[in-house]
Amino acid sequence: MTDASITLSTTASAMGETAPVWVLDDPRAGTSGQVIGIAERLGLPFRVVPLDFNWRAHLAALVPGGSLAGLAAPFGAAEAGPALVLSAGSRAAPVARWLRRRHGCRLVHCMRPGLGDHDFDLLVIGAHDRPAASPRVLPVLGAPHRLSPQHLRQAGEDWAERLAHLPRPRIALMLGGGRMLSVPAQRLGMQVAALARDLGGSVMASASRRTGAAASEALGQGLGTALHLLYRWGEPGPNPYAGFLALADAIVVSGDSVSMISEACATTAPVLIALPELGGRRHRRLHARLYAAGHAQPFPADRADTLTISRTTPPLDEAGRVAAEIRRRFSLADLPESNPPATEHRR
């Protein structure tokens, strides 16, 4: 998952305004993006509440009914509490539970909340994490995110002219990090470059924040035999990540990032998962589920020349599905909708 400043039409309200939906913003990559993506799909005014945590964040989960003890600074008082709180991750869970105790609001939480899970009305958990069957649990394929159909259309329009010089088919290559080393990065670059050459196309590659400078340079060396564009993390100018995904004819994504894989599957392009060994068991369970559902296929590193690039399934839209389930369960349809202003969000 990479970070970039992007413009997206949302229903985010100013911090001081009353909104029926509050989104607790844990700034860790891949965390708050899940609930902000769901909030944007609800079509209701929402308030993003930034959370700044201190060393007591995990201890706060032990307090019955939730606690604000894990926050380094209070998020401010409001005249009216929310009707619905969206949260994600174990650090935000005690804050959500405290809001429920104070305002009696509904709680929807992404990922496992840790202790006090009975306080939540709906838990959105990846099926690859093997959640227990319960009416309060909604399993999802991958993870919700902000790459909605609207966002992808906008990104495609924004980047179409700037990427027009790259011949089709355009292969987007999204590289994660974690245990990423220079050798597999260079090898993958060479394999994708060979595929692009055979097809008469080009490569649009993006290194993430976790990739590291050495692996990014190795990737660039591997891509050197094909016409390509490589975005290295931290380079000046806008991050083309969303544009690459929106305009790709095929996407190769490393197997270590649930977020990047989920975002790739939100497009109409065929998705190929490479370097599965970089992920853990839960990542490999996700890969298997995506293969079985037809949303992705393995990248055959040893015989890429025999690869058949195709996809017959529609884009994966779990954030939209979760938003629809929230509206169905909690009768939020009667809450007022707003005209969405433009806002800036980090990716």
**The domain that contains 232 carries what CATH number?**
3.40.50.2000
Residue 312 lies in a domain: no
C-alpha span between 2 and 99 (Å, rounded): 31
Q: To which H or E segment does residue 230 belong? A: strand 228-231
Indicate the angle between helix axes 182-199 and 213-222, nearest 10 degrees. 30
Between residues 70 and 139, which one has the greater pLDDT? Answer: 139
Residue 173 lies in a domain: yes
Structure tokens at 338: 């707003």
- Total structural domains within the chain: 2
Average pLDDT over residues 38-45: 93
Residues 71 and 119 in one domain: yes
Residues 158 and 36 in one domain: no
Task: Provide the residue range defining the domain that includes 24.
Answer: 5-146+318-346
Residues 172 and 259 in one domain: yes
Q: Which pLDDT score, from 0 to 100, does residue 79 have?
A: 62
Residues 160 and 32 in one domain: no
Residues 264 and 250 in one domain: yes
Residues 325 and 336 in one domain: yes
Q: Distance from CA of residue 103 to its chain's centroid?
A: 29
pLDDT at 336 > cutoff 60: no
Indicate the angle between helix axes 318-330 and 32-42, nearest 10 degrees. 60
Q: Could you tell me the pTM of the whole model?
A: 0.87
Q: What is the dihedral of CA 120, 121, 124, 125, to 10 degrees?
A: 50
Tell me the CATH number at 340: 3.40.50
State pLDDT tens for residues 51-60: 998 888 888 8
Residues 21 and 132 in one domain: yes
C-alpha span between 11 and 8 (Å, rounded): 10
- What percent of the chain is modeled with pLDDT above 70? 86
pLDDT at 123 > cutoff 90: yes
Residues 137 and 229 in one domain: no
Residues 302 and 158 in one domain: yes
Residues 95 and 181 in one domain: no
Please report the DSSP string for 108-177 in residue order: EEES---TTGGG-SEEEEEGGG-PPP-TTEEEESS---S--HHHHHHHHHHHTTTTTTSPSSEEEEEE--
State pLDDT tens for residues 198-254: 999 999 999 888 888 888 899 999 999 999 999 988 888 889 999 999 999 999 999
Q: Which pLDDT score, from 0 to 100, does residue 303 have?
A: 56
